[in-house]
Chain A
Amino acid sequence: MAQQAGWRSLPKGGVAFRLSTDYKTGDWRALKPVIDYNKCTKCMLCWLFCPDMAIVWDGENVVVNYDYCKGCGICANECPVKAISMVPEA
């Protein structure tokens, strides 16, 4: 008879123990934001308003982390200089 798993190996009920960063929401996307760095004034509004924390400030530029971007288009809509364009996913 095979050894059955005991109660000790079960995860604790009601305690979420894994970070949701393991779950990549990027594959929800239909349109993908592309930043035109020639137009970007680094006002950071896209970084501030991104609901998925997918726009990251790397110290010099704003960079889109496509692992998590759901492609909602809020960044493109809020950009005051229209430096972000939404292009269809290939």
Chain B
Amino acid sequence: MVVKTLPEFPVKKGEPAYKLWIFEPGEKKEMPLVFNLRQLAETRRPALLPGHRLCAGCAAPIVVKLASFAFRGPTIVVTATGCLEVSSTIFPYTSWAVPWIHNAFENAAATASGVEAALKALKKTGRLPYDHVDVVVFAGDGGTFDIGLQSLSGAAERGHDFLYILYDNEAYMNTGIQRSAGTPKYAWTTTSPVGSVLPGKMENKKPIAEIMVAHRIPYVATATPAHWMDFMKKVRKGIEVEGPAFIHTLSSCDRGWRHDTALTLEVTRRAVDTCYFPLWEWTPQSGYMLTDRSLAIARNPKLKQPIEKYLELQGRFRHLLKPENKHLVKELQELVDAAWEELLRKASNAPR
């Protein structure tokens, strides 16, 4: 087995530029949640190392990076099959600076349950040298909406203590942009083509976060990497609660969504501004709570943008901007408005 050293990049102050997460046995310290970026840059390093082979402009490594800044200590990462798994661990290379396990496409949550149960057994017999070891799952929309839904539902029902972060790029991007249950209505994919017969995918997106709310687990939230402070707070909350937690993040894919690589975060920002993807969190105690930008839009409805603002950036919705497809855009706008009105009715901190 070859032990490789990390590249040396000259750093004048603070931690080395790239490092593995190693915790001394018996370390009780909990890493604080820091929002001062300069302080964060000097003290923390992301759980993902450079050299991963995700496309330029992919939002998935940003999701992992931001989430790892909110980890509180020793963490084990589980990933389902997906873009993130195949391109961060091409044999014999690994990009993970934390312990990492992958099993199969459909059982990320079941694998996490097993890891958590093993940690519990080790702790009971006094063989775990740490106070707490957190289990975090990263899975794409294929591994959550379609293939992994049964294992996620089962793990949520059994109440294992883990955080499930879904990075939703709204299709099977890894295998070549096939439609999934996460693909929005009227989006182009290779298996829901746009032409004279069909205007893209004909079905609605599965409301996965609502499905997890229906499981009555301790914490459910939606987030985007563009609203980073909100996302980091939600990750820390999800790790701290006892029991399963679920975070649905919108993670744009420049190859599948057909936009410029530089606009990755701009697209997710517009998704929140148009209320296509509202930011909220749900706990059994306080119910639905709007956060960050969505709360600002609820307080001042003038900030809400029309859905065209979101569609115009993306090539997968290009056909909707043609004059003969105006009624489809109107229908999408009505769907988004109805979902937003419903959320405003449910949210306990929305102004009435």
Interface set of A (CB-CB < 8 Å, partner B) = 11-12, 16-25, 28-29, 42-45, 47-49, 51-54, 56-60, 63, 65, 67-68, 70-74, 76-78, 86
Contacts and interface: CB of A to CB of B under 8 A. Distances in A.
Nearest to B39: A44
Interface of B: 1-2, 4, 6-7, 9-14, 17-18, 37-38, 40-42, 46, 48-62, 65-66, 88-95, 225, 228, 254, 260-266
A48 B48 CA distance: 13
A47 B265 CA distance: 14
B46 A20 contact: no
A73 B260 CA distance: 9
Nearest to B92: A18
A71 B62 CA distance: 15
Contacts of A21: 4, 6-7, 18, 49-51
Contacts, number: 150
Contact of A16 (B9, B94, B260): B94
Given A16-B94, A44-B41, A65 B17 contact: yes
Contacts of B54: 51
B38 A44 contact: yes
A84 B6 CA distance: 27
Contact of B61 (A52, A77, A78): A52
16 contacts: A17-B92, A19-B6, A20-B90, A20-B93, A21-B49, A22-B4, A25-B50, A49-B62, A52-B56, A53-B65, A59-B13, A60-B12, A65-B17, A68-B51, A73-B57, A86-B262
Contact of B262 (A28, A58, A77): A77
A42 B41 CA distance: 11
A29 B12 CA distance: 27
Contacts of B9: 56, 58, 63, 65
B51 A71 contact: no
A47 B41 contact: yes
Contacts of B60: 51
A20 B9 CA distance: 15
Contact of B93 (A23, A43, A53, A73): A23
A53 B46 CA distance: 8
A25 B56 CA distance: 10
Contact of A53 (B42, B50, B91, B94): B50
Given A43-B37, A58-B11, A65-B17, A72 B93 contact: no
Which of B17, B94, B228, B261 is most buried by chain A, counting CB atoms within 10 A of its CB? B261
Contacts of B12: 58-60
B260 to A, nearest CB: 8
B265 A77 contact: yes
Contact of B13 (A60, A70, A74): A60
